[in-house]
Amino acid sequence: MVAENYDAVLKGKYPGKDHAKRVVDLIRKDVPDANGIIYLESQLTQMMEDSDEPVAFRQRRYFYYLTGSNLADSYFIYDIQSSKSILFIPPINPDDVIWSGLPLSIDEALAKYDVDEVKLTTELNATLAHLGHANPKSTVFAIAKQVQDHVSFLEFEKKNFDVLKNAIEVSRVVKDEFEIAMIRKANYISGIGHRAVFAKAKSAKNEQELEAVFYERSFAHGAKKMAYDPIAASGRAAATLHYVGNDAPLEGKLNLLLDAGSEWNNYAADITRTFPLSGKFTKESRHIYETVLKMQKECIEVLKEGVLWDDVHLLAHKIAIDGLLAAGILKGDKDEILKARTSAAFLPHGLGHYLGMDTHDTGGNPNFEDKDKLSRYLRVRGKLPAGSVVTVEPGIYFCKFIIDPYLEDPAHSKFIDKDVLEKYWDVGGVRIEDNILITKTGYENLTDVPREVEEMEALVSGN
């Protein structure tokens, strides 16, 4: 059972050694007699072009997964045979101390991170030589293009750049208690931001004001990084899936789609809400919103360990077709509409994706070459394991660029009522997105942001 009190869980160390053991088990599925070391490098400090300012730092996720360290210019070794881990951190640079203060010491790093030993980066090659000499038949498992030129593996018989990256990506799918606590905290803070945007919506004049409200609330609660660039799309702009202009005036717009999630120690929240800027949905907007809400609720209800995600995605399309038929936008037999894939004109993306250190997290096995337009952009294929976290984010969009080719194709246009469709362009797009933890018997929704029509209308109206 995942602890509800995430702050209590987060007082401990990030479980890098447990992750390393899981990764070794996965490596041995490809290399049964795997012996030697895992070698990883952190992200390097990089400077902006033509500037003395550093590029905003983002830790390599593969490195963080086995160390829990956000330090730049560092290295990591995990000895497979002894299960011993070594973190290498930069030595003190007097010039840097003048500007930035003292870095983490060896003792401080050892107390902070789940590793067995901490050394300076100046000791890296000597340590590698010692480990290789002690076991000359062993292998270095590393990631291609993530090993600096000065690093020497000469003492090792084999160098394997093929299996480590995939092993870490597969391991990351199933989260442990600590990782889920991080996602919980990111969701909690992001929820505060979303509620603040609801409250500001009626008085705001521009999308950027609402984006700024989300940033401010996230920063104020300790989440100083966004998991991705927020989307604050008003009116027809909400039909653009990854709209990031966030600079249009709100006057005359019906709805705002806010897709925004903060990050807590590299772990993401990814939440979307769509609400009426006036505090009251129009008839057309409400019908589409209630259809999308039904899509989300019914898809979430079927989730548990072993459910085939492809089937849940198909369920979302079936409910979307029912809602579009009820609106009069679609016409004809719903089975024929599904077979023709006409619903992809209104729901062109997949139902969701794995969530973790990356917003679109690893291990989903997508097939972007799929000939079936209903599944082409499905970012998760296959059965969901317990412990995975997946977004459920159905939507219905009225994007002319996407829909117009369907209107020109007789195979699809026979199912679409153009006159009724004209009434819906200003709805723009509706998406509702929550973050769902898969369990053996069902699910847990980690997102606590209002999504019912009456509750959102009341919050926007200030009631």
Mapping DSSP onto H, E and C, the string for 305-355 reads: CCCEHHHHHHHHHHHHHHHHHHHCCECCCHHHHHHHCHHHHCCCCCCCCEC
Q: Percentage of the chain with pLDDT > 70? A: 99
What gap in Å lies between CA 128 and CA 41, rounded to an integer?
A: 13
Same domain, 153 and 219: no
pLDDT band at 160 (very low <50, low <70, confident <90, very high): very high
Q: Which residues contact 70 (CB under 8 A, 6 or more apart)?
A: 57, 59, 64, 265, 266
Q: The domain that contains 19 carries what CATH number?
A: 3.40.350.10
Higher per-residue confidence, 52 vs 415: 415
Same domain, 132 and 223: no
Query: In 10 A of CB 202, how many CB atoms?
Result: 14
What gap in Å lies between CA 137 and CA 402, rounded to an integer?
A: 57
pLDDT band at 463 (very low <50, low <70, confident <90, very high): confident
Same domain, 135 and 189: no
Domain boundary among 171, 192, 214: 171
- Which 3 state secondary structure label does DSSP give 47? strand
* Residue 424 within any structural domain of the chain: yes
What is the distance, to the nearest Å, from the Cα of residue 92 to the centroid of all Cα atoms in its chain?
A: 35
Quick one: which of 282, 289, 288 has its CA closest to 253? Answer: 282
For residue 103, the 8-state DSSP code is: -
* Residue 419 within any structural domain of the chain: yes
> Does the pLDDT value for residue 1 go beyond 70?
no
Same domain, 245 and 116: no
Long-range contacts of the stretch 24-33 (C-beta < 8 A, 24+):
24/78, 24/80, 26/166, 26/167, 26/170, 26/171, 27/141, 27/163, 27/164, 27/167, 30/162, 30/163, 30/167, 31/139, 31/160, 31/163
pLDDT number for residue 45: 95
Q: What is the mean pLDDT of residues 87-92?
A: 98
Checking DSSP bridges between strand 75-79 and strand 84-89, what pairing results, if any? antiparallel
What gap in Å lies between CA 141 and CA 159, rounded to an integer?
A: 6
Higher per-residue confidence, 427 vs 6: 427
Higher per-residue confidence, 4 vs 1: 4
One-letter amino acid for residue 189 of the chain = I
Same domain, 248 and 151: no
Same domain, 34 and 67: yes
Q: What is the mean pLDDT of residues 54-69?
A: 98
Same domain, 404 and 269: yes
Domain count of the chain? Answer: 2
Same domain, 98 and 199: no
Structural domain boundaries, residue 404: 177-461
Q: Which residues contact 108 (CB under 8 A, 6 or more apart)?
A: none
Q: What is the mean pLDDT of residues 252-266?
A: 98
- CA dihedral defined by 271, 352, 249, 204, rounded to 10 degrees? -10
Q: The domain that contains 376 carries what CATH number?
A: 3.90.230.10
* Residue 1 within any structural domain of the chain: no
Same domain, 76 and 182: no
pLDDT number for residue 4: 59
Alpha helix (H) residue ranges in 31-100: 61-67, 94-100
pLDDT number for residue 3: 40
Maximum CA extent, the chain: 77
Same domain, 185 and 157: no
Q: 341-365, pLDDT tens digit by residue?
A: 999 999 999 999 999 999 999 999 9
pTM above 0.85, yes or no: yes
Q: What is the mean pLDDT of residues 243-271?
A: 98
Same domain, 289 and 227: yes
CB–CB of 389/216 below 8 Å? no
pLDDT band at 136 (very low <50, low <70, confident <90, very high): confident
Q: What is the mean pLDDT of residues 267-291?
A: 99
What gap in Å lies between CA 251 and CA 151, rounded to an integer?
A: 58
